[in-house]
Amino acid sequence: MTAEDKARLAVLLDMAGGFLRDSHWRERETPVFEDDAAQSVAGAGGGDSLETIAAEVRECRACGLRALRILPVPGEGVQQPLALVIGEAPGSEEDERGKPFVGAAGHLLDRMLASVNLSRTTNCFITNTVKCRPPGNRDPLPEETAACAPFLARQMRILRPAYILCMGRIAAQTMLRTNEGIGRLRGTFFDYTPDYPLNHQPDDAAAPAIPLIATYHPSALLRDASLKRPAWEDLKKLLARLRT
């Protein structure tokens, strides 16, 4: 509920109470309210929240993609997910709908996740390294990735996932800060150390490392069916960890 709606409701309730008590209403000072989004439960992120981050993503002008995209794609899923799934950037359908992985690659991703008992509706959160679509689905530029990096870091701080699954080369290279190809990065668990302290102060204890595994992007599997078997092998390694 917005602050304006709350104020109107308070006035109506006050009027009703006045008439019931005194058969008339005397004007009183209306309390100050805040939007529900500003009061949302922030979880482990202190005063931050996924809703706040999504609102800031919608207003962000830190790079040139703001002028080119239709809708930003902050991400979607559950709080405190078992797995944080990170892709590269929104595609055309994601750009139109404002949701991650909703095109053909998204449908394939949902099937891949289901094969290891994961789902965006129950135990995953899905997002991208870049929240707005690069024109022509080109690779994000370094300055675009850098502009979105604080959003992703804040999301991770709130979500505290048990595992990270990187879909494709760009996501893996961004998270691991490397130029190695996906062929070398896939199928191996890395310890990803978050860039944020456990609380708001820089001298607080560092957040623990999160196991990270990468595999091929679903769109790559749609282009080259020979990649499906190695991708399944990667997912089986994740499933084995999840079971323990």
pLDDT averaged over every residue in the chain = 85
The 3-class secondary structure across 184-224, one letter per residue, is HHCCCCEEECCCCECCCCCCCCECCCEEEEEECCHHHHHHC
Asked if the model's pLDDT at residue 191 lies above 50, the reply is yes
180, part of any domain: yes
26, part of any domain: no
Cα dihedral 149, 77, 243, 45 in deg (nearest 10):
50
Asked if the model's pLDDT at residue 9 lies above 90, the reply is no
For residue range 70-100, what is the model confidence (pLDDT) as tens digits?
999 999 999 999 999 999 999 999 999 999 9
CA–CA dist 216, 187 (Å, integer): 9
Asked if the model's pLDDT at residue 35 lies above 90, the reply is no
Q: Which domain holds residue 232?
A: 37-243
The residue whose two tokens read 């370094």 is: 142
115, part of any domain: yes
- Assigned token pair, 61: 């002008």
- Assigned token pair, 108: 């394939």
Sheet holding 190-192, edge to edge: 76-77, 124-128, 83-87, 163-167, 210-215, 190-192
7, part of any domain: no
The model's pTM is 0.79
Number of domains in the chain: 1
Residue 129: its pLDDT value, please? 97
> Do residues 192 and 160 make contact, with C-beta atoms less than 8 angstroms apart?
no
Query: DSSP 3-state assignment of 85?
Result: strand
Residue 190: its pLDDT value, please? 98
51, part of any domain: yes
Kindly report the CATH number assigned to the domain that includes residue 71.
3.40.470.10
Stronger pLDDT, 172 or 5, i.e. the higher one: 172
For residue range 137-175, what is the model confidence (pLDDT) as tens digits?
999 999 999 999 999 999 999 999 999 999 999 999 999
27, part of any domain: no
155, part of any domain: yes
2, part of any domain: no
